[in-house]
Amino acid sequence: MSLSQADILRALELVKLPASGQSLAASGRVADILIDGGKVIFAIGIDATEAAAMEPVRKAAESAVGGLPGVTQVLVGLTADKAAPSAGMQARQQAHRPAPGGPPPKPAGVPGVKQIIAVASGKGGVGKSTTAANLAVALSTLGLKVGVLDSDIYGPSMPKLFGITGKPQIVSGRTLGPMEAYGLKVMSIGFLVDEETPMIWRGPMVISAITQMLREVAWGELDVLVVDMPPGTGDAQLTMAQQVPLAGAVIVSTPQDLALLDARRGVAMFRKVAVPILGLVENMSYFICPECGHRSDIFAHGGARHEAERLGIPFLGEIPLAMPIRETSDGGRPIVASDPSSAHAKAYIALARQVQAALGGATRAAPRIVIE
Ligand SMILES: Nc1ncnc2c1ncn2[C@@H]1O[C@H](COP(=O)(O)OP(=O)(O)OP(=O)(O)O)[C@@H](O)[C@H]1O
C-alpha cells in the first residue's frame, strides 16, 4: 500500500503545538510533503523566533510519521518564512496538494529571489561547475543581481572557483549570511564542511542541506539564483529538482556521444518533474590554438546542437576548450570576471544572454534612473 499526503497529515493530527494546543495538521504549517517510496520529507513553517520552541514539535512529528506502516525514513525540517506562518503556509499547503494525475506539486519560492535556475549535467567532469560560475558572473555583467548556490554535495567547487575562504556568519537565528565574490552572493556546502570530511551524505541529507542553503540564507533581493547541481540523474538529483522551485534548467554536456547520452537522461529527469529545460550547452566544444589561431574540433563538435534539435530543446551555445578557462577557474578568478573582453568570456556572455532570453521578462535588470 502506498503512502499518501493524507496519511501523513492524519498522523500529524496527534502532534500538538505547545502554545495553542492546536494539532500540527490543522495549523497549516506543514508544507512541501514529499513521499518517495518509504521515505517521507516535509517542512514545518515557523517564525524565526520560534525555532527552539518548535524543535520538540519537529521531533514529535518525525516519530508520529515514522510510526506509520510502510515508512522507512522521515526527515522533517523547520523552515522560517518571512511572512506570518499560518496564512502563508496554509495557502502554500493548498497549492501543494497535487491534482489527481496532474503534474507534481511545485515547491514554494524563496522570498526576494525572482528566478532560480539549475545548472546540471548527466555525468561528472563535463565542466558543469565552471560553466555555472562563469554563467553567473556573465549574468551579472548584464546588470542582474545574481547569487550562486553550490549544491554539489559530493564535490563542492564554488569556494575554489571564486577563490573564497572563510566561513559564512550567522546573521540571525539560524540564518546565514552568504559569502560574496565578484559582486555575486555565494553559498556552498563547501563552506559548511571541512574539505577533508568524507562526503558520505546521501538521499534525504542532501535534500536537508539544500533546503537549508536555499531557505536559511539571507540572499536578499536577487534576479537570478544559479544552482550548481550534483552531477548525475539519481534519486538525490531527482528529489532536489523537485524540492527547489526552479524556473528552468541548463544542461551542460561535452560533445562526445557518451556524455550526450547522459545529458539526455538529465533532460528526461527535469521533464519528469515538470521543470522547463532552458537548453543545452556544449562545453569543451572546440579548441583554438593559442599560437596560430587554428580551430580544431577535437570531439567532433556539434553533437550537442544535433542532440538539442533531436530532443526539441533550445541549443544555448558552445564554450571552447581553452587553457585560460581552466587556469582562471583553478585560480579562483572566473574568466568572465578576470578577462571580460576575451573571446572565452564573450562565449559565456552570449550564453548568459540566451539564458536571460529563455527566462523571459522576470530577469530583466531594473532600468537605470538618470536625473538630468
Ligand atoms: N571550457 C573549458 N576549457 C578548459 N577547461 C575546462 C573547461 N570547462 C571545464 N574545464 C576544466 O575541467 C575540469 C572539470 O570542470 P568542472 O569541475 O567544472 O566539472 P564538473 O562537471 O562540475 O565536475 P564534477 O561533476 O566532478 O563536479 C576543471 O579542471 C575545469 O577547470
Identical fold between 5-96 and 113-362: no
75 forms beta bridges with: 41
Confidence at residue 162, expressed as pLDDT on a 0 to 100 scale:
97
Q: In the chain, what percentage of residues exceed pLDDT 70?
A: 84
Mean pLDDT of 330-344: 95
For residue range 272-321, what is the model confidence (pLDDT) as tens digits?
Answer: 888 999 999 999 988 877 788 788 877 766 788 888 998 899 999 999 99
205: pLDDT confidence band, cut at 50, 70 and 90?
low
Q: Which of 231, 207, 213 is nearest to 149 (CA)?
A: 213
Confidence at residue 108, expressed as pLDDT on a 0 to 100 scale:
81
- Dihedral sign (CA 160, 163, 167, 169): negative
276 forms beta bridges with: none
Answer yes or no: is the C-beta of 126 below 6 A from any ligand 1 atom: yes
What is the CATH architecture assignment of 113-362?
Answer: 3-Layer(aba) Sandwich (3.40)
Pick 332 or 77 by higher pLDDT: 332
Answer yes or no: is the C-beta of 318 below 6 A from any ligand 1 atom: no
Could you tell me the three cell numbers for 246? 526552479
d(CA 204, CA 43): 13
Q: Is 320 helix (H, G, I), strand (E, B) or coil?
A: strand
Mean pLDDT of 61-90: 72
Q: Is the pLDDT of residue 17 over 70?
A: yes
What average pLDDT does the structure give for the chain?
83
Answer yes or no: is the C-beta of 356 below 6 A from any ligand 1 atom: no
For residue range 67-80, what is the model confidence (pLDDT) as tens digits?
Answer: 999 999 888 877 76
Residue 315 CA: distances (Å) to CA of 140, 215, 282, 287, 312: 21, 31, 8, 19, 9
Answer yes or no: is the C-beta of 128 below 6 A from any ligand 1 atom: yes
Q: Is 30 helix (H, G, I), strand (E, B) or coil?
A: strand
d(CA 200, CA 222): 32
d(CA 92, CA 113): 17
For residue range 27-50, what is the model confidence (pLDDT) as tens digits?
Answer: 888 887 888 888 888 888 877 677
Q: What are phi and psi of 65, to 5 degrees?
A: -75, -35
d(CA 127, CA 115): 23
Contact between residue 337 and residue 137 where contact means Cβ atoms under 8 Å apart? yes
Closest-lying ligand 1 atom to the alpha carbon of residue 285: 1
Most informative mutation of 119, 154, 329, 330 for ligand 1 (most atoms within 8 A of CB): 329
For residue range 170-202, what is the model confidence (pLDDT) as tens digits?
Answer: 898 888 999 999 999 999 988 876 655 544 444
Contact between residue 154 and residue 198 where contact means Cβ atoms under 8 Å apart? no
Q: Write down the domain spans for the chain.
A: 5-96, 113-362
213 forms beta bridges with: none
Q: Which CATH superfamily is domain 5-96 in?
A: Fe-S cluster assembly (FSCA) (3.30.300.130)
d(CA 105, CA 93): 10
Answer yes or no: is the C-beta of 284 below 6 A from any ligand 1 atom: yes
Could you tell me the three cell numbers for 47? 517564525
Closest-lying ligand 1 atom to the alpha carbon of residue 252: 21
For residue range 109-167, what is the model confidence (pLDDT) as tens digits?
Answer: 899 999 999 999 988 889 999 999 999 999 999 999 999 999 887 778 999 999 999 88
118 forms beta bridges with: 227, 249
Q: Is the pLDDT of residue 334 over 90?
A: yes
Closest-lying ligand 1 atom to the alpha carbon of residue 320: 1
d(CA 312, CA 309): 5
Angle among Cα 316, 322, 327 to the nearest 5 degrees reads 115
Q: Note the pTM of the prediction, 2 decimals.
A: 0.73
Answer yes or no: is the C-beta of 253 below 6 A from any ligand 1 atom: no
91: pLDDT confidence band, cut at 50, 70 and 90?
very low
Residue 233 CA: distances (Å) to CA of 123, 247, 252, 253, 269: 8, 19, 13, 13, 7
Q: What are phi and psi of 145, to 5 degrees?
A: -90, 120
Confidence at residue 129, expressed as pLDDT on a 0 to 100 scale:
96
Which residue type sits at 198?
P
d(CA 235, CA 203): 7
Give the β-pairing of 222-228 and 146-150.
parallel
Q: Whose CA is nearest to atom 6 of ligand 1?
A: 326
14: pLDDT confidence band, cut at 50, 70 and 90?
very high
DSSP state of 123: S
Answer yes or no: is the C-beta of 212 below 6 A from any ligand 1 atom: no
Pick 280 or 261 by higher pLDDT: 280
Confidence at residue 89, expressed as pLDDT on a 0 to 100 scale:
42
